[in-house]
Every structure is written in C-alpha cells, then in structure tokens.
Amino acid sequence: MLQELGKQNPHLMQLIQAHQADFLRLINEPVEGGEGNLLEQLGAAVPQAVTVTPEEREAIERLEAMGFDRALVLEVYFACNKNEELAANYLLDHMHEFEE
C-alpha cells in the first residue's frame, strides 16, 4: 500500500519517511468512533475480489507456474496494467528481492 502511495504522491511519501515514528504511532492508534486502527479500517475498505477474464486468469496462472507466489503475481500483474510480458520481466528482474 505504501509503494502505491509513493507512486501517487512522492511528496507525502517523503514526509512519511522523514517522520516514521510519528507515522507509525498515528496508524496504530485506535480511530475515534471506530473499531481497530487506521490500517485495519483502510484494509477493510479495499475491495478483496477482482474479476478477471479467462485470458487474464490464464496469464496469471502462467506467471504463477514460473514459481512465484500468487499474491505477488497478482500485485505485479495489475501494477503492470495486466501486461503479462511486462509482469514476467519485472518478476524475473526482481526475483532476488522476493526471496526471504
């Protein structure tokens, strides 16, 4: 989520990085009038299901067959605007970053 924020608003991301302790305290505080902290509420607001065409599903499955985790494949595939070749290149080029 923070990576996407950094793409959309680099200035805000710089502020967050400059004030990490304050940011972490803020997002972990309970929200007034609500249940849980800010991140939990944001997570609940994000759609959890995405509809894909049969062709897109096949592309996702091919990327998974390369040995990558489904969640990672989905994130990269959609970040690459559903371009299978671009997603595959990104996954392969950054493979070392995904291994833990």
Say yes or no: 6 and 39 in one domain. Answer: yes
Residue 42: what residue type? Answer: L
* Residue 66 and residue 85 share a domain: yes
62, 68 in Cβ contact below 8 A? no
pLDDT, tens digit (0-9, with 9 covering 90-100), for 5-44? 677 777 777 777 887 777 777 767 665 655 555 556 555 5
pLDDT band, residue 91 (cuts 50/70/90): very high
The answer to whether residues 32 and 59 belong to one domain is no
Q: What is the pLDDT of residue 55?
A: 96
Token pair listed for 12: 């805000």
- List pLDDT tens digits, range 38-86: 556 555 555 556 788 999 999 999 999 999 999 899 999 999 999 999 9
- Per the structure, the count of domains in the chain is 2
Domain range for residue 6?
A: 2-45
Contact status, residue 84 vs residue 59, Cβ threshold 8 Å: yes
Helix, strand, coil % (nearest 5) of the chain?
Answer: 70, 0, 30
Question: Strand, coil or helix: what is 67?
Answer: coil
pLDDT over threshold 90, residue 97: no
Are 13 and 41 members of one domain? Answer: yes
Amino acid residing at 24: L
